[in-house]
Structure 1
């Protein structure tokens, strides 16, 4: 079983994570899902994809429950429509964005605050492979063995389930491991880690410039960004378009080769803005630290 959440251990259907999906993500998905099911794509009429169809309809009305989210995030791209369907592409891209922007960080928070196995055995979340759910809910391609999904009230999650630990302090600038950029606009630079608060200090004017170029690049998506192997870059560009950037998104964009963004003026403009951000907001803490690592500290003289 593949899907936008491939490789993640997803929470169960009753987990509070699904109730807290940010409104702007649900609204964007609702619009795209409505266009996909009005009228229905031929693929959605197939019996094996009926769970996907019901889940899309629930999402289009912003009534998606945990069971609907699990189906959508664990269903392969071909379950949403033909390979040439731009409507299906848009829905799948939005689901990938939801995973990158919300689900993956939420899952990481809950797994890192949970107990670790004492015997050193590998956990399911550490094993690469398919998207898995804690509740074992079947997704698309199961021939309907799990039964068609209907709108249903969710049970209350256990106390504290899916909630971050209390008293956790945000990391100090420069306290997270640095990343050496091997490619992209930041090639050769030491960048803050994905959880470093330095990323939140990028000036609004620069983020707005990036937003405009990102919007033009993915409306519609074309070129290399449509490829499955570049879904992470595509999701990062979408996050820039919505000005919902995290440190992980910044690292992806700043360390991605120019060719991956495609050909033409739109891709040139995006890459140019990324270079401008590095020039006008160089994050001195990290770059100075990089120079201190490379050059011995000089002794001040009288």
Structure 2
């Protein structure tokens, strides 16, 4: 049985990143006596020495554990460890491994890790105000960290007055929460993908205060023309075309794998079936 080191805490994002069906566990450690800078509630800044781990189990096999650590310089170090066949030890594999441990799971190299994690001012993803706004669950005999526990333990420099919820009906919450977790870490005002297309899929705290239809994400995708169309794009004129899957570029890019325009561009090779239905239900629902 694994035992967590002192000061290491489990957490789980409210909205999950799809990883081809892999089961995941996550942990974080903050240096003693430090706080997370939350002056900008949309983009947290972590103290030097912060460590985050994510463990992947695919087809019942624990395959890898990733480490993301903030250095004293402010830069982040990323490396993955592949578990040995006996599941007792793991070895660093900085160059990555394809189809690791007899599974379809690919362990990324360090550059691949930072390709996604470099699209935010600070590199930690999934540990944020919205993602931690849920009830704590037991994890290895202790309660995992949530927004409420961070506030209680005085770990935020500017704690919010309340937790956060995506507005709207359950379908809206699931759809925009999925976009936030799976697309927003690149498609946000500070990411390179946003600079190319202006597509913003990162829910800000301000977006959570009013109706979802008033959010920057909704306004940027619903019945909005795509910015550019090249020979390799599906012939879909709208980002989200109300009632039309063939005309919705975001849907087409999501369900078609193996193309230069497929989304997400890395980290997954299998279409998320639950999310596919979520897209279909949301696009087909009259508004």
Higher CA-based Rg: 1
Q: TM-score, normalised by structure 1?
A: 0.29
Structure (1/2) with the larger helix percentage: 1
Q: TM-score, normalised by structure 2?
A: 0.30
Select the structure with the greater relative contact order (CA < 8 A; seq sep ≥ 6). 1
